Amino acid sequence: MPASPCFETALTRLLSMKERGRLLPMDTESVEDFFAPFARVRAKRMFSGHGVYVDDACIALCVIGSIWIKVDDEVERAALAAAGSEPFNYTPPSGGLRVMNAFWKLPDAALDDEDELRRWCAPALAAARRTAAEKALKKARKAARGAPAAKPRPKRAKPSPAR
């Protein structure tokens, strides 16, 4: 299937950055155009890059020069590993490598093939929706338990007018 013009434009920007030795953070429009073959997404500034959302579900992160997709099951993690992917990792200023298994690097094949992009983003969206549903359920349970109401703030005394 031929690539859409928006995908081609975003891909051209992405590949030109890749050819320079590393991927650089994309702007909001490029992120949204890149994911357009999969779904209408909204890119929100996050950390030093963007969070990629379908509705209220975060399906990906565009940070540290790469695109990282949401993953919540071992079968999908194994498939990503077989495709040459790795979990999101970084080294904080305090040192030591931190690994987050909730996001894995989008395989390189998905960077220039819309079908591959859809193949990897569909389970990412399902994982993101499950995570969003779990968070909403926890919030509802907490509200149902009658979380303590915030204490009312005492009113400040009005200063007396200067004479």
Could you report the per-residue pLDDT of 27-60, keeping only the tens digit for each? 889 999 999 999 999 999 987 889 999 998 999 9
Q: Is residue 161 part of a domain?
A: no
Could you report the per-residue pLDDT of 67-88, keeping only the tens digit for each? 999 999 999 999 999 999 999 9
User: What are the residues facing 98 on neighbouring strands?
Assistant: 90
pLDDT of residue 17: 47
Q: Is residue 159 part of a domain?
A: no
21: CATH: 3.30.1460.30
The first and second tokens of residue 44, run together, are 């929100």
- Compute, in degrees rounded to 10, the torsion defined by CA atoms 51, 15, 112, 73: -40
pLDDT of residue 91: 87
pLDDT of residue 58: 95
Residues of the domain holding 84: 5-132
Q: CB within 8 A of 143, min separation 6: which ones?
A: none
What percent of the chain has pLDDT above 70? 74
Question: What's the domain count of the chain?
Answer: 1
Provide the 10 A C-beta neighbour count for residue 112. 15
Q: Is residue 12 part of a domain?
A: yes
Q: Is residue 145 part of a domain?
A: no
pLDDT band of 103, cuts 50, 70, 90? very high
Q: Is residue 47 part of a domain?
A: yes
